[in-house]
Amino acid sequence: MTGVLVLEDGRIFKGIGRGAEGVQTGEVVFNTSMTGYQEILTDPSYHRQIVTMTVSHIGNTGINPDDIESRKVWVAGFVVRSLSPIVSNWREQGSLDAYLRAQNVIALSDVATRALVRHIRSKGVMRAAIAHGDAANDTDTLLDMARNSFDMSGANLVDDVTCDEPYHWTETSDSQWYRAHKNHADGPLIVAYDFGIKHNILRMMSDRGLRVTVVPAHTRPDEVLALNPAGIFLSNGPGDPSAVTYAIENVRDLLGRVPIFGICLGHQILALALGGKTEKMRFGHRGGNQPVKNLLTGRVEISAHNHGFTVSPNSDLNGAEVTHINLNDNTVEGLRHLELGAFSVQYHPEASPGPHDSLYLFDEFVQRVKNIMMNNAQ
């Protein structure tokens, strides 16, 4: 059945409709990961975005219940060159096409994705309408929908994806893929702000002996401190970080109380709380092969990314230092404030999908928490 993607600049990309029928709008982005499409689909950071995969073949390994990163699929649409008609994997429990239909997600296959990605790289990310079914025949209406759809700049999308109530996380990762687990029954308590948190981030903390309580994004600082946490984690999430003003104020009030570790949107919110600024990128970083240099050690890490905003390089961070940079474009990828006990990275050390070069950051967080606990006990 006919499918089409109409960009706000009038460019039209035709394909075969997959998944659910209907129309949806969103911001068109691209991801360069060669695998991990299920984790990408269920990453809340992709909320309101139409994701284009640059690798040719998608769907080869099907879908399984173990590789989801949140409670549902969050992408507004999914665009691929070739959707594999054959599924082959020992864990698969269904096809990608059937999964997208069940999740009511519109997708397109047989799209000229190379041309689409080159267009986005040249012009920048933009709004679009994706359609599958009869609506795909009316491209004029779809163009109007794209041009009148929401703009990611200034959009607070955290409220859409955060949890409703606090909950405790106890699940650890599969020991076949990660190192042996520790007993986390009586470890230090970490409060994790859910701005759109991924399951594998929580698993990485549980693996390291931490007890984790996840709280909604609006949770006040006094409510967090009443839990007597040994550390605070600021999660990834969607949208413009500068629009999540309540989170910025909350983090500012929590600075210096206990160690703080932020990832992705959490990194940006920490920077804003310190007095820095953020800005929208031309087409962002999304994929599992970004080279990042640790300025403290000189080590280069191949890392997983998913962000369309970045900390402005000339920001006044009030005593914080930049610790990591991207070797492709010199964007800020990490920072720390030693006096306030806070640090963060723009990329995803837990990967899922992606390399494991940066897992040491979770160990560093654990060590910071334990050091503070030891000092307080003396």
pLDDT in tens, 130-174: 999 999 999 999 999 999 999 999 999 999 999 999 999 999 987
Q: Hey, how many other C-beta atoms are within 10 angstroms of the C-beta on 156?
A: 18
Q: Please report the pLDDT score of residue 184 as a whole number.
A: 53
Residue owning tokens 């950071």? 45
Q: Please report the pLDDT score of residue 351 as a whole number.
A: 85
Q: Judge whether residue 183 has pLDDT over 60.
A: no
Q: Please report the pLDDT score of residue 352 as a whole number.
A: 81
Structure tokens that stand for 376 in this block: 């307080």
Q: Please report the pLDDT score of residue 180 as a whole number.
A: 59
Active site residue 163: no
Q: What single-letter amino acid sits at 213?
A: T
Average pLDDT over residues 363-369: 95
- Note the pLDDT tens digit of each residue in 32-65: 999 999 999 999 999 999 999 999 999 999 999 9
Active site residue 264: yes
Asked if omega into 353 is within 30° of 0 (cis), the reply is yes
Q: Judge whether residue 185 has pLDDT over 60.
A: no
Average pLDDT over residues 10-31: 98
Overall size of the chain counted in residues: 378
Q: Please report the pLDDT score of residue 29 as a whole number.
A: 99
Active site residue 350: yes
Q: Please report the pLDDT score of residue 353 as a whole number.
A: 83
Domains and CATH numbers, the chain: 2-147 (3.50.30.20), 158-377 (3.40.50.880)
| Cβ partners under 8 Å of residue 178, min gap 6 | 203, 204, 207, 356, 359
Binned at pLDDT 50, 70 and 90, residue 14 comes out as very high
Q: What is the mean pLDDT of the chain?
A: 95
Buried-exposed string 44-66: b where 16+ CB fall within 10 A, e elsewhere: bbbbbbbbbbbbeebbbbbbeee
DSSP 123-139: H--EEEEEEESGGGG-H
| Structural contact between residues 205 and 168, judged by C-beta atoms closer than 8 angstroms | no
Q: Please report the pLDDT score of residue 161 as a whole number.
A: 99
Q: Judge whether residue 235 has pLDDT over 60.
A: yes
| Cβ partners under 8 Å of residue 308, min gap 6 | 27, 29, 125, 152, 280, 281, 283, 284, 286
DSSP state of 87: -
Binned at pLDDT 50, 70 and 90, residue 262 comes out as very high
Catalytic residue among 8, 27, 264, 333: 264
Q: Judge whether residue 181 has pLDDT over 80.
A: no
Note the maximum CA span of the chain: 72
Structure tokens that stand for 23 in this block: 């129309």
Integer Cα distance of 321 and 333 in angstroms: 11
Nearest by Cα to 62 from 33, 86, 96, 36 = 96
- Note the pLDDT tens digit of each residue in 223-232: 999 999 999 9
